[in-house]
Structure formats: C-alpha cells, structure tokens
C-alpha cells in the first residue's frame, strides 16, 4: 500500500521555505511506518518552471528539481527510505511539455520534439506541446529519461501520467481538430509503440521495477505484457472505480439502496486489468473539496462515518491501494472527533 504526496511542505519558522530532500527523509520514514505504508509516490520531481503545476509541466526530464536540494540530496532521500524498507515511486510525464522557448519547444528553431501541425502537436486543455512519438530521436530521449531515474536515483517505479491523452489522437478534441492514423483510426500508434518499448526496457534492465499507468479509458491490455500484445505496464489506476465510489458516497444514505449498481459495477471489469484502487489528487485540487467534504450532507461526525465506510470498502476491494495524500482517515478523525478550540470545520484541507 502506498500514498502520494507533493514534496512541498513549508517551514514557517524559516521564511516559509520548502523542506529539503534531506529534511523530508526521516519525516517520511516515520510517517510511512506509523501509517503502515510500503511505498511513497512523489508527484513529479523532474525540473519544472511553474510550481503551481505540481511538476506536471516538465522542462528537465533527467534532473530532480532544484527546489528541494541538489541531485545528491534526492539520492539521499531515496536511500533513506530504502534503508527502512519503503519503496519509492515517482510520477513521470512523457505526454506533453510546456511551451517555454528556453526548454524543448521549437528547440532548434523548428518543431523538433513536437508536431508542427497543432492538430497533432498542441494539447488544448493544458496549453502544452505534444511529443512527436513518430521520431526515433524523441522516443529515445523519453525512454532514456525513464531509464535514468532508475539508474541514477535507484527508484522502484514510475507512475506514468495522462496515458489516455497519449493513446488517442482525438483526446479532448472536437471533430475536425485531429488527424487520423494511417489506418483511419483514432489510436496514436507511435505513442503506443513508445510505451510498449519503454516498458520492455525498464523491465529488462531493472527487474522488479514497476510501471503504473494513469489511464482513464477502457483501452484494453494496459497491464498485459507486450508479448501478449498489451502495453506492458505492471498496474493500471482504476479511475472508473474512484468516480463510481465518490458518486455513491455523495448520496444521502437513505437513497443509496437505489444506486447499488454504482457500488458493484466495478466488479464487472475488476479482473480485466491489474488494478490499483486509487483516490487521485485531481479530485481535491482547485476548490473541488476534500474527501470528507465529498461525503453526503450531514454533520461532520456523519461525514466521518461515511468516509470510514468508504475506506473500509476500499480496503476490502481486490487489488492494490493508493489513498489520497492529505485524505488519510486517521488525520481527518483527529480533527472531527477532537476539535481544537476556535477551529472551524470549514478549515479542513
């Protein structure tokens, strides 16, 4: 079982600076041991210019961000976690990159890493460029980035972000805004081959390493080996399960009996992939509310009861688990059941 975090905790006593890799090491060890976690998953730590992006708009695909210290200190963090039996997974973002002219965008004055045609090379939702996976040099660059994080920093796994946006040429595009593949289909054949090749090399050079897909569609064979014509990932995030569970637990308990199909639907496809049951950070950012505030209306004690039931269901569901960072029930219950004087429930993150 693992938990995800954004390595950006602040130190108010020292100018509100972030914790360094070295300072975070033992804090993470102590917390993971207390909560019984086996792995830590970091939101992207590759270098990026815009901190509010949480690292998802990468410009330095081989370098840990300087915000928390030099690369040697990140190696120290990984080594410290390993010494205490805790695995390390990082988010990796090969699906797009920002338009900063000093980075990869129009690298040599031409569209070197991205497609020239915006119908292929621009991600409209994020305002970023899409890699041209049809170029050998681009595929080698990205694959080398994946391998470097294992070789240089001894991580245990990669969680690959936004796989769905790489799989489909029409992802988040209207009719006429995309170009079909050579067979007239919507699948991005070059991106699929890139993922299959990268997964094969990771598993070849680093036996036991994990690759995990954040894939939100019903694309088949994401976690099947490439020799069985799959994408070669070890696990796939179960995004459908997450959305169904949150929809169910938003309902007042008196109405839930009419929506049991929402609760049980996930078992129809549970064994089609090697799923990880997750609660994604995307569900709580930008004012969407914390998990406890997503529970059905009622008192905070009743919301805590619903959240406790949700986590109990998650723990009993087949597959691996990845709770949301900041959403662990123990921390929530400390606030709900033992509120401090003057603490408003609305202040719960």
Dump pLDDT digits (tens) for 61-115: 999 999 999 999 999 999 999 999 999 999 999 999 999 989 999 999 999 999 9
Active site residues per annotation:
161, 214
What per-residue confidence (pLDDT) applies to 160? 97
**Rounded CA separation 195/311 (Å):** 32
What per-residue confidence (pLDDT) applies to 192? 98
pLDDT at residue 346 tops 50: no
Q: Specify which residues 89 forms β-bridges with.
A: 41, 157
Q: What are the tens digits of pLDDT across the range 10-39?
A: 666 677 788 899 999 999 999 899 988 999
CB within 8 A of 3, min separation 6: which ones?
Answer: 32, 35, 37, 39, 40, 41, 322, 323, 324, 325, 328
pLDDT at residue 341 tops 90: no
Q: How far apart are the first and last CA of the chain?
A: 23
Average pLDDT of the chain?
A: 89
Provide the pLDDT confidence category of residue 327 given band limits of 50, 70 and 90.
low
**Rounded CA separation 79/291 (Å):** 32
Provide the pLDDT confidence category of residue 284 given band limits of 50, 70 and 90.
low
Say how far residue 240 (Cα) sits from the centre of its chain.
15
């Amino acid at each position: 079982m693992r938990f995800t975090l954004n390595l950006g905790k602040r130190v108010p006593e020292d100018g509100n600076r972030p914790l360094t890799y070295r300072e975070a090491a033992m804090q993470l060890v102590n917390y993971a041991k207390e909560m019984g976690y086996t792995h830590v998953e970091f939101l992207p730590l590759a270098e990026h210019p815009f901190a509010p992006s949480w690292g998802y708009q990468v410009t330095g695909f081989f370098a840990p961000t300087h915000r928390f210290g030099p690369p040697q200190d990140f190696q120290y963090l990984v080594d410290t976690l390993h010494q205490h039996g805790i695995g390390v997974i990082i988010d990796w973002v090969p699906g797009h990159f920002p338009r900063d002219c000093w980075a990869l965008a129009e690298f040599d004055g031409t569209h070197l890493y991205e497609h020239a045609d915006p119908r292929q090379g621009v991600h409209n939702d994020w305002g970023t460029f899409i890699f041209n996976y049809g170029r050998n040099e681009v595929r080698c660059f990205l694959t080398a980035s994946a391998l470097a994080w294992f070789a240089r920093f001894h991580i245990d796994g990669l969680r690959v972000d936004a796989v769905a946006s790489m799989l489909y040429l029409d992802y988040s595009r209207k009719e006429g805004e995309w170009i079909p593949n050579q067979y007239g289909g919507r699948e991005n054949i070059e991106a699929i081959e890139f993922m299959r090749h990268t997964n094969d090399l990771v598993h070849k050079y680093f036996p036991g390493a994990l690759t995990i897909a954040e894939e939100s569609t019903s694309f088949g064979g994401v976690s099947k080996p490439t020799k069985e014509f799959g994408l070669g990932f070890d696990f796939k995030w179960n995004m459908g399960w997450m959305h169904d569970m949150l929809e169910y637990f938003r309902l007042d308990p008196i109405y839930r009996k009419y929506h049991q199909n929402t609760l049980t639907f996930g078992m129809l496809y549970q064994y089609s992939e090697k799923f990880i049951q997750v609660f994604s950070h995307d569900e709580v950012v930008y004012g969407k509310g914390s998990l406890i505030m997503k529970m059905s209306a009622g008192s905070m004690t009743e919301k805590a009861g619903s959240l406790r039931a949700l986590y109990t269901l998650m723990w009993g569901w087949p597959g691996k688990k990845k709770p949301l960072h900041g959403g662990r029930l123990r921390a929530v219950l400390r606030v709900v059941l033992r509120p401090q004087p003057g603490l408003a429930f609305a202040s719960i993150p």
